[in-house]
Structure 1
Amino acid sequence: MTIYPEGFTDPKVEAFLTKFYQISDTPTANAEYVDQFTDDATLIMGLKTAIGDKNIRTLRESMWGAIVGRHHVLTQVFPFQTVEQASELGQYALTGTVEFTLKNEKKVSVSWGAKMDLLRGKEGEQPKIKFYQVYVDSTPVVQALTS
């Protein structure tokens, strides 16, 4: 269960984050994953940076090279402003864990943190990510792949 700050009630953001990590955990959902971002979004995953939908798709596809499965758990969401202040662009710090299932059948769980800038979209539109940077130590995954 994800923890939100007391008084934070934004069902649109909560639903988006739930769906985003479900899509992220689906290896064949490349187009759907890219659709969660604006056309000119920036995605930073560790040392890799992708700007724009084509580069985000390429980075997304490369993340599945040695991985056959993954499961994100979003632990906590920290908004940088109130729901009212975030009427167009919401900024969030996120924490969680992700369990990877590797091609060699080993499982590795690591903690991660992220910063996400989320364009809320107009009435009836889904939010879209403008900026997303993930902080994660990939050392345990590398060690599991080489041992």
Structure 2
Amino acid sequence: MHNYKSETQLDLDPDFKLFFEDFYATSDTPDAHEHYVTYFTDDATVVMASKSVKGSEEILALRKSMWEKVSSRSHNPIKIFPFGSYSDEVMLYGTVTYGLKSGGESGLDWAARAHLVKAEGKVRMDYYQVYLDTGAMAK
């Protein structure tokens, strides 16, 4: 079983740490498109490399497009860096490995910036930006 636990140096809301473990597990589940969207607020902004989307419908379309050329993905979120103790804004660092539908495997390092909100006892992101080397996918 894959482990989605991350290290953190500062105090991080335990709900946020669990949120990211669940989020990356869902990110790696091919048919969890609708569930993936529930990790974001209805008006969230998501930026993946050079593509920016806003709102649930656009996030769902982006999520589906991310699975067009890959048959599997495996995130390894290594570290979470809160902007301060118990901050609702964090930077993350990790690696991801892709199984390609055309055959073979590809992987790269990534970083992300996330802003989290708690509403009705549930943690969600209203902003999520992923930084990655898109040229690494062409290898």
SS in 1 for 2:9: coil
2:29 alignment counterpart: 26
Question: Gapped runs of 5+ residues in structure 1?
Answer: none
Question: Gapped runs of 5+ residues in structure 2?
Answer: none
1:81 deviates by 2.2
User: How far apart, in 1, do the equivalents of 2:134 and 2:76 lie?
Assistant: 17
Is the contact made by 2:43 and 2:56 (CA closer than 8 Å) also made in structure 1?
Answer: yes
1:138 deviates by 1.7
Of 118, 133, 136, 1:137 maps to 133
Indicate yes or no: 2:2 matched with 1:4.
no
Amino acid across the alignment from 1:141: M
**TM superposition score normalised by structure 2:** 0.92
**TM superposition score normalised by structure 1:** 0.87
Amino acid across the alignment from 2:9: P
RMSD over aligned Cα, in angstroms?
1.2
User: How far apart, in 2, do the equivalents of 1:106 and 1:138 lie?
Assistant: 17
2:18 alignment counterpart: 15
After TM superposition, what 4+ stretches of structure 1 lie above 4 angstroms from structure 2?
Answer: none
Which protein is richer in strand relative to its size? 2
**Alignment length, in residue pairs?**
135
User: How far apart, in 2, do the equivalents of 1:9 and 1:96 lie?
Assistant: 17
